[in-house]
Structure 1
């Protein structure tokens, strides 16, 4: 029987070095704003720098997901 192994992934904010620990099975973008490959901002730094990215699960994303499901 094969077992799935989940690991802890520690991600740091590029600007303030705030860290978030998640499981490898979780979506990191629910806690951090994606900038580029392996680069993230915490929500506060994303707002401070004016980065257009946003966290997944915010209202805009929910509306987008609902409209694509109806197609």
Structure 2
């Protein structure tokens, strides 16, 4: 059995990660809340690193997104 605190003292392998995951309790209803949890985590990350948010915000945008919002929505 791998203890998470012990594992932090060395480089984890994919096997270690899988073992830890199997030992961790599951959250009831995770499928319905995971998007909100991930959105909160990303919001915190980009709040802490606004330059990253700015770079990613325009890196994948279509030209119409920059002037008309997400998608074209009638903006031509």
Q: Same fold (TM over 0.5)?
A: no
TM-score, normalised with respect to structure 2: 0.24
Query: In proportion to residue count, which structure has more helix?
Result: 2
Higher alpha-carbon Rg: 2
Query: In proportion to residue count, which structure has more strand?
Result: 1
TM-score, normalised with respect to structure 1: 0.24
